[in-house]
Amino acid sequence: MITLHWVYALAGAIFAAFAILGVADKSNKRARRTAAFWALLALSMWAGDALGDLGNGVLVLGLVGLAASGLGRGGGVVPDAVRQERAGRLGNGLFAIALVIPVTALVGTLLFKEMPGWIDGKQATLIALALGVLIALLVGCLWLRASPVVPLQQGRRLMDQVGWAAILPQMLASLGAVFALAGVGDAVGGLVSQAIPQGSLLGAVIAYGLGMALFTIVMGNAFAAFPVMTAAIGVPLLIRTYHGDPAIVCAIGMLAGFCGTLLTPMAANFNLVPAALLELKDKHGVIRQQVGTALPLLVVNIALIYWLAFP
């Protein structure tokens, strides 16, 4: 059966290729250190399960040590004039190849769930995504008559642009696990439940919505904030004391948390990674653009809970 481990094997191979091409890249002054970083990531993808928990911890120390000492960025940009000439010659078929990945992910997600013996249905989208990448590479290299080294070399260049931010989301997810182990959520819940104004429904609703957003900003993830805020305010006050509709309180409360996700560098995969990927000079540029949507929407969410959940 095809499982997520096949995708890990592919990802390991691609990171290993980035490392090998990176070592040979003379335009990168820190070529060895940068290559070592991608090589460790390849090791994690390939052998993470065999390393043991402590082994993975040491691997993380290695990754962070390399990142903190400063990674370099390699070159390899194709000159403007060459790209212009190719674009004129090749036409809109380039878009067709770019669409192969989302279309394969779409079709695969729907189709793979019907093939339980062959493919792990729970991971259908990620497996379909990997398949889409392979199809796009194959069709692209054949049609463009490019050697397979070209996509790997260009991918390595883009990966160097992203740099250590590539593992930031994975690191934050791991920190979340340590927070859970240490009981951080319960401590925050204790603080919050002492801080709510007594006897005011509107005050309690605002405390819940705002608390969801603020705690999400700190933790980077509404999933971490939700159980804490719901235990501290949602269930005891809004649902039990004021008899709010639990479905409305919780569903919209979660979305108030999502407004917080738009505002925090802790949600790295949504907010910092795209800034690196789009080569923005301001790494908080995406968050800056989101403020104008997140704040009014947070107010709307708090108002919706107040109006809809308490008839």
Under rule CB under 8 A, which residues in 207-226 are in contact with another protein? 218, 222-223, 226
Q: Give which of 26, 29, 19, 24 is closest to 71, Cα–Cα.
A: 29
The Cα 72–Cα 224 span in angstroms is 34
Site for another protein in 283-302 (CB under 8 A): 285-286, 288-290, 292-293, 296-297, 300-301
Question: Minimum CB separation from another protein for residue 69, in Å?
Answer: 10
Quick check: 235 binds another protein (CB under 8 A)? yes
Question: Minimum CB separation from another protein for residue 226, in Å?
Answer: 6
Nearer to another protein, 1 or 54 (CB): 54
Tokens linked to 2:
């095809």
How far apart, in Å, are the Cα atoms of 6 and each of 12, 13, 114, 119, 252?
Answer: 10, 11, 19, 11, 38
Contacts of 176 (CB under 8 A, 6+ apart): 219, 220, 221, 224
Nearer to another protein, 39 or 252 (CB): 252
- Residue burial 222-243, b: 16+ Cβ < 10 Å; e: rest: bebbbebbbbbbbbebbbeeee
Nearer to another protein, 170 or 201 (CB): 170
Nearer to another protein, 207 or 260 (CB): 260
DSSP string, 60-102: HHHHHHHHHT-------PPPHHHHHHHHHHHTTHHHHHHHHHH
The Cα 157–Cα 266 span in angstroms is 25
Cα dihedral 79/81/83/84 (nearest 10): 160
Phi, psi of 2 (to 5 degrees): -80, 120
Q: Cα–chain-centroid distance for residue 38?
A: 18
Site for another protein in 32-61 (CB under 8 A): 41, 44-45, 48-49, 51-61
Q: Which stretch binds another protein (CB under 8 A): 27-35, 150-158, 193-201, 202-210?
A: 150-158
Nearer to another protein, 187 or 202 (CB): 187
Site for another protein in 60-99 (CB under 8 A): 60-61, 63-64, 67-68, 78, 83-88, 90-92, 94-95, 97-99
Largest CA distance in the chain: 72
Nearer to another protein, 51 or 201 (CB): 51
Quick check: 227 binds another protein (CB under 8 A)? yes
When binding is defined by CB under 8 A, the residue of 173, 195, 200, 202 that contacts another protein is 173
Question: Minimum CB separation from another protein for residue 62, in Å?
Answer: 11
Binding string to another protein for residues 244 to 273, with x set by CB under 8 A, is what? Answer: --xxx-xxx-xx--x--xx--xx-xxxxxx
Number of residues this chain uses to bind another protein (CB under 8 A): 142
Length, in residues, of the chain: 311
Quick check: 114 binds another protein (CB under 8 A)? no
Q: Which stretch binds another protein (CB under 8 A): 26-34, 166-174, 194-202, 205-213?
A: 166-174
How far apart, in Å, are the Cα atoms of 283 and each of 87, 137, 175, 213, 288?
Answer: 30, 30, 21, 21, 10
